Amino acid sequence: MEKKIVYDFDMPVSRLGTHAEKYEARERFFGKADVEPFWVADMDLPTPEFLVEKLRARTGHPMFGYTEQYDEVFDAVQWWMKNEHQAEIESAWISLSPSVVTTISMAIQCCTEEGEAVAVLSPVYGPFFTCTKINKRKIADVPLCVENAKFEIDFQALEKTLSRPEVKLMLMCNPQNPGGRAWSFQCLEKVVALCVKYRVILLSDEIHSDIVYAPAKHRSVLNLPAADEIAVVAHSIGKTFNTSGLQSSFVVIKNPKLRSAFRRAQDRAHCGDINLFGKAALASALSPAGAEYKRQLLVYLHENTRQVCARLNQVENLTVMEPEATFLVWSDFRAFGDWQTVFRKLINEANVALSGGNFFGPAGEGWFRINCAHPRSVLLPAVERIVDIFSGA
């Protein structure tokens, strides 16, 4: 019997010298090169050795020429979606894409015209806004409500927005970044019904869907037959396997007309393929070995987010959203003054670099997002420093 690998997530691994953005861009974004970084949403936890070995083995051959889109990649995606997300998909429905943000941009280009509008539920991952704006489309922002320290959708406001004739596309973050919400089946059903009613294409960004903590469960839009005609589902191994720098993402579109339109947009931008390391990584990660790594990773990340939330919630006037999904903790610092004051305190006094809420749209102002995908020996002392600075403040 094969020996089970036990992953050690406690061991800090230095990323200095690897051009990691989270580290190298500290001076530029925070004005302090040695502030401890808990911002960019990648993990300071290592990619599993079996995947690294796959890449190492490929570098053993000295030619890195044009590489076909081979079956193992598509088989792996199908296997993963069936086993991890109970979604039966055909190989033909899958397209490769360098990144989820590329997919968002392509969806905007193929589903909307200049001057039309894209619906978003904010606060949400910044490129939902920037991709829309750079493509000269309008943002139709539907702010989320906060109820019992969780985001909820205002369905009345959403219906009003989707009923506007210029709204042709909705970008949904499922699970939600920054709030860590794993949207329920009922909630997705309602969103899909509204999109169908008003003929709006629904892009479901499911990049965080493998990081969901029981009893919460990820519900893919692919599990909703009502969404078959309107859904573009974007996923990636970037978050779960810490491979965002490899640019290995995929898209699932069941509707053949929509899929052709999406692929034409990809062809125009020449971005319907990924590099050979991305393909090797997809084929390797989306496997039983990858599922076991994910299972162990989730135990570690869940404990991290639980401990961070429990500690920060002890600070008077500081409230955090305990995530059902993602390794991110969305924290409300509005009681401690304007966001610039809090930002400076976090950097200069607590020595932590967090993602500022403005990145997630106007509704995020005064909030900060903490990345908990770090070894506990690094994460928990940083949280203690935040607690010290803001207790009694």
Ligand X SMILES: Cc1ncc(COP(=O)(O)O)c(C=O)c1O
360 counts as binding ligand X under rule CB under 6 A: no
Q: How many residues does the chain have?
A: 393
Looking only at the bridges linking them, the beta strands covering 367-371 and 328-332 are antiparallel
**Element (DSSP H or E) covering residue 80:** helix 71-85
122 counts as binding ligand X under rule CB under 6 A: no
- Closest to ligand X by CB, 101 vs 346, is 101
105 counts as binding ligand X under rule CB under 6 A: no
173 counts as binding ligand X under rule CB under 6 A: yes
Nearest residue to ligand X, using CB? Answer: 99
324 counts as binding ligand X under rule CB under 6 A: no
Please state the closest distance from residue 289 (CB atom) to ligand X, in A. 22
Backbone φ and ψ for 19, nearest 5 degrees, come out as: 60, 30
In sequence order, what are the residues at sequence separation of 6 or more whose Cβ sits closer than 8 angstroms to the Cβ of residue 303?
A: 376
DSSP, residue by residue, 162-221: HTSTTEEEEEEESS-TTT-----HHHHHHHHHHHHHTT-EEEEE-TTTT-B-TTS----G
Q: Which of residues 32-61 bind ligand X (CB under 6 A)?
A: 41
**Element (DSSP H or E) covering residue 49:** helix 49-59
Among 109, 240, 243, 244, binds ligand X (CB under 6 A): 244
Please state the closest distance from residue 120 (CB atom) to ligand X, in A. 11
Helices 185-197 & 155-162 angle (0-180, nearest 10):
20
Token pair of 348 as six digits:
């200069």
DSSP-based three-state secondary structure for 372: coil
Backbone φ and ψ for 240, nearest 5 degrees, come out as: -70, -35
- Closest to ligand X by CB, 125 vs 241, is 125
Q: Which of residues 3-22 bind ligand X (CB under 6 A)?
A: none
Among 207, 281, 352, 373, binds ligand X (CB under 6 A): 207
240 counts as binding ligand X under rule CB under 6 A: no
- Closest to ligand X by CB, 22 vs 26, is 22
Among 48, 238, 290, 361, binds ligand X (CB under 6 A): 238
- Closest to ligand X by CB, 89 vs 100, is 100
Please state the closest distance from residue 8 (CB atom) to ligand X, in A. 25
Q: Which residues form the interface with ligand X (CB under 6 A)?
A: 41, 99-101, 125, 173, 177, 205, 207, 236, 238, 244, 249
